[in-house]
Amino acid sequence: MTPELKAGDFLLRPLRPEDAPAVHRLVNDWSVVRMLSRLPFPYPRDLAEKWIASTLEDSARGEAHHFAVTRNGTLLGAVGLVLSDDRRSASLGYWASPAVWGQGMTTAAAQRVVEWALQVLKIEKLTADVAVDNPGSSAVLRKLGFQETGRGSRRFVSRGTDCPIIIHELTRSGFLQQEATIQDAPPPPPVQEKASTPAAPPLPKPRTLLVVAAALLDTQGRILLARRPEGKRLAGLWEFPGGKVERDETPEQALIREMKEELDVDLTGSCLAPFTFVSENAGPFHLLMPLYVVRRWRGTPAPREGQELAWVKAADLAKYPMPDPDLPLIPLLQELLG
């Protein structure tokens, strides 16, 4: 089903039947509908109702996801994602009220849907096409990392003619590379107000990123997973709790700290030894992540950072969308607990 997502001040949610009047009012505008290839002009009210009903059916079948973009309860536009039959690719589309053009709403909303599609749904490729005379939409796609891959033509019902279009594409591998580069970008240098003795060059940033993770096991052999909340990177994905090892920490010290901060559980006194590890290239850095299997702790796990928690049987781990580095751990845990 289509989830609720957040993009800054905007809430992205599934469309509802009661949205029909607002959808009709916003789309039945020549400046909007002329850029949407399949819609007529004038745009009938009953067509808005039928379209919303179809989006709910598509969502239930997992064939498409359409989000109403709202702010303070007011509908301002929509972002849609239509999946291919094999669920490996999808097409992206969007429209917005002219009242919010140039305010960054479309970019923010589309960016969040793109992240969700590539990270949670594991879509391998996204495509989008726009009319040649719609430079604003092309600019949005470029900001999202899409690349122009060709030209073509499409019939625009509202205009009653075929129009030239630009075809864009974004692959999951390209997106992840772009994300890794952004995350690893160094901060801007401080502004110096007056001349002084030249500062020593900064030390090179370590290329290996050390992260720890824990598979907490309850008495039934279930594993605790945490779902990253909206507003955080990789929001919506499930993961083994853990975090980055700081410079002055051992991996075990980092794990104890992270479990206290994230879950309010105490691992001090526990016998901590890594069960396995992940070693993976992640663009500008190399990720090294030892996984600790933990059966004893003090306290009851509770979400302290807005995350959702779930106790999951080993056989069901693959049903939960996870970040790529966590995926190789699933069969190992299943073999351990099988």
Instruction: Please state which of the ranges 14-23, 157-166, 284-293, 298-307 shows the lowest mean pLDDT.
Output: 284-293
Please give the mean pLDDT across all residues of the chain. Answer: 91
Q: Which residue has the higher pLDDT, 246 or 281?
A: 246
Q: Is the pLDDT of residue 203 over 80?
A: no
Q: What is the pLDDT of residue 184?
A: 47
Going by pLDDT thresholds of 50, 70 and 90, the confidence category of residue 269 is: confident
Q: What is the pLDDT of residue 204?
A: 52
Q: What is the pLDDT of residue 190?
A: 53
Q: What is the pLDDT of residue 168?
A: 98
Going by pLDDT thresholds of 50, 70 and 90, the confidence category of residue 126 is: very high
Mean predicted confidence (pLDDT) in 291-297:
95
Q: Which residue has the higher pLDDT, 230 or 184?
A: 230
Using one digit for the tens of pLDDT, what is the confidence trace for 207-259?
A: 889 999 999 999 999 999 999 999 888 899 999 999 999 988 999 999 999 99
Q: Which residue has the higher pLDDT, 17 or 181?
A: 17
At 114, the amino acid letter reads V
What are 53's two structure tokens? 């009903």
Q: Which helix (H) or strand (E) holds 285?
A: strand 285-294
Going by pLDDT thresholds of 50, 70 and 90, the confidence category of residue 199 is: low
DSSP result, 94-139: EEE-GGGTTTTHHHHHHHHHHHHHHHTS--SEEEEEEETT-HHHHH
* Integer angstrom CA distances of residue 224 from 88, 129, 152, 153, 197: 29, 42, 49, 50, 53
DSSP result, 46-105: HHHHHHHHHHHHHHHHTSEEEEEEEETTEEEEEEEEEE-TTSSEEEEEEEE-GGGTTTTH
Q: Which domains does the chain have, with CATH numbers?
A: 5-180 (3.40.630.30), 208-337 (3.90.79.10)
Q: Is the pLDDT of residue 185 over 50?
A: no
Whole-model pTM over 0.85: no
Q: What is the pLDDT of residue 178?
A: 76
Closest CA to 37 of 91, 114, 101: 91
Mean predicted confidence (pLDDT) in 315-335:
94
Whether the upstream peptide bond of residue 42 has omega within 30° of 0, thus cis, is yes
